[in-house]
């Protein structure tokens, strides 16, 4: 059975962009092999500085995936920090990782260019990510385009280790999510928590209504036909309910309907689609012990996969 592994950074409240861009594709891949999905809380420490935030976002990511259809019987869901032996592997990989390889990492260079304080964690981020991947003998690693270089680095590191110590690691393959359209935020830019333009996946009714009603539109008067295709309203409706979108295009283009009404339609479509997930999420909020039990079980199952790989790497290195 092929191993499909990916890490999810717990970096904020989940939004519709995360759902369509990352969660839905990951959930669909559950059937294609043994999926291992983990909450990358060690990695998140490179950007989150408050312990309470990290705790909350970690819970939100785990409960979020469970609410949206992750099957914990089948898929192994765990917290990265529940398998701390990943750091031992990271060290073994570190000694075969050339400085130049990390210095070329664009995510690191970008952070520096933005004026971020440099620290070793940020620099070594790709090595820990390689360890995440190699520790579980991963075959496929579904990630967004921005992570492509990290996957190339992971393969390079695996190859370097194998060259020095013998064939321990399988070279993982990236599965790049190019196809998924970027979900626009309410202001028309990419939906992103850093722009404050998100529609939350698990918000209260009013927390969802407010951004939807604030979606940027043009000033076409009520009595004139409106353009729906390619607009924020249109793109969001297309993502949320593709069938409804077909009708939406037709009656939106008719004269006599206002943007306010179209936004209410989108709001209704969002509620209809995500209500069942939101209800499950509330359930997990009231019963965090259920999420905890899934994560612990996931960590135990992850250990079974990791133990022989780590043992082989240690032995090959002469430890």
In the numeric block, the tokens 């032995």 are attached to 315
Nearer to ligand TRP by C-beta: 136 or 274? 136
Pick the piece of the chain touching ligand ADP (CB under 6 A) from 85-93, 128-136, 191-199, 256-264: 191-199
Residue 18 lies near ligand ADP (rule: CB under 6 A): yes
Residue 11 lies near ligand ADP (rule: CB under 6 A): yes
Rounded Cα distance between 311 and 85, Å, is: 11
Backbone angles phi, psi at 200, to 5 degrees: -70, 150
Q: Which of ligand TRP, ligand ADP, none lies near 217, with the C-beta cut-off 5 to 8 A by kind?
A: none
Residue 37 beta carbon to ligand ADP: minimum distance, rounded to whole angstroms:
12
Of residues 81, 3, 86, the one with CA closest to residue 38: 81
Residue 216 lies near ligand ADP (rule: CB under 6 A): no
The residue ranges of DSSP E strands in 135-284, in sequence order, are: 140-143, 173-176
**Residue count of the chain:** 319
CA atoms lying within 13 Å on the CB side of residue 211: 25
Residue 193 beta carbon to ligand ADP: minimum distance, rounded to whole angstroms:
4
Backbone angles phi, psi at 208, to 5 degrees: -90, -40
Rounded Cα distance between 297 and 196, Å, is: 35
Query: Catalytic positions, please?
Result: 111, 190, 193
Q: Which of ligand TRP, ligand ADP, none lies near 70, with the C-beta cut-off 5 to 8 A by kind?
A: none
Element (H, E) at 18: helix 16-18
Contact (Cβ atoms closer than 8 angstroms) between residue 284 and residue 70: no
User: Which pair of structure tokens corresponds to residue 296?
Assistant: 């612990």
Q: Which of ligand TRP, ligand ADP, none lies near 174, with the C-beta cut-off 5 to 8 A by kind?
A: none
Residues that bind ligand TRP (CB under 6 A): 5-7, 9, 40, 43, 129, 132-133, 141, 143, 147, 150
Nearer to ligand ADP by C-beta: 21 or 234? 21
Residue 192 lies near ligand ADP (rule: CB under 6 A): yes
Q: Count other C-beta atoms under 10 Å from residue 71's C-beta.
A: 12
Nearer to ligand TRP by C-beta: 47 or 271? 47
Residue 64 lies near ligand ADP (rule: CB under 6 A): no
Q: Which of ligand TRP, ligand ADP, none lies near 83, with the C-beta cut-off 5 to 8 A by kind?
A: none
Of residues 141, 143, 142, 145, the one with CA closest to residue 158: 141
Report the interface residues with ligand ADP, using CB under 6 A.
9, 11, 17-18, 20-22, 144, 180, 182-183, 190-194
């Amino acid at each position: 059975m092929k191993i499909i592994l990916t890490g999810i950074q717990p970096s904020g409240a989940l939004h519709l962009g995360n759902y369509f861009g990352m969660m839905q594709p990951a959930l669909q891949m559950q059937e294609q092999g043994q999926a291992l999905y983990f909450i990358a809380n060690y990695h998140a420490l490179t950007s989150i500085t408050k312990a309470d935030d990290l705790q909350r976002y970690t819970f939100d990511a785990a409960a979020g995936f469970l609410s949206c259809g992750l099957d914990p019987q089948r898929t192994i869901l765990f917290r990265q920090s529940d398998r701390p032996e990943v750091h031992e592997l990271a060290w073994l990989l570190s000694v075969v990782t050339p400085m130049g390889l990390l210095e070329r990492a664009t995510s690191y260079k970008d952070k520096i260019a933005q004026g971020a304080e440099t620290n070793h964690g940020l620099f070594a981020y790709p090595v820990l990510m390689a360890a995440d991947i190699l520790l579980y003998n991963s075959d496929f690693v579904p990630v967004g385009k921005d992570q492509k270089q990290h996957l190339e680095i992971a393969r390079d590191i695996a190859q370097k280790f194998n060259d020095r110590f013998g064939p321990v690691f399988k070279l993982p393959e990236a599965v790049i999510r190019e196809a998924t359209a970027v979900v626009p935020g309410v202001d028309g830019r990419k939906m992103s928590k850093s722009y404050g333009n998100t529609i939350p996946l698990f918000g209260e009714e009013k927390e969802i209504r407010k951004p939807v009603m604030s979606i940027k539109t043009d000033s076409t008067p009520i009595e004139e036909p409106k353009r729906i295709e390619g607009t924020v309203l249109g793109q969001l409706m297309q993502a949320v309910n593709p069938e409804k979108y077909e009708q939406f295009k037709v009656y939106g283009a008719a004269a006599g309907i206002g943007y306010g009404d179209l936004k209410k339609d989108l709001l209704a479509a969002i509620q209809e689609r995500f209500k069942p997930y939101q209800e499950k999420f509330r359930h997990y909020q009231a019963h965090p012990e259920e999420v905890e039990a899934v994560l612990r079980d996931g960590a135990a199952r992850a250990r079974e996969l990791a133990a022989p790989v780590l043992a082989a790497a240690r032995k090959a290195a002469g430890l």
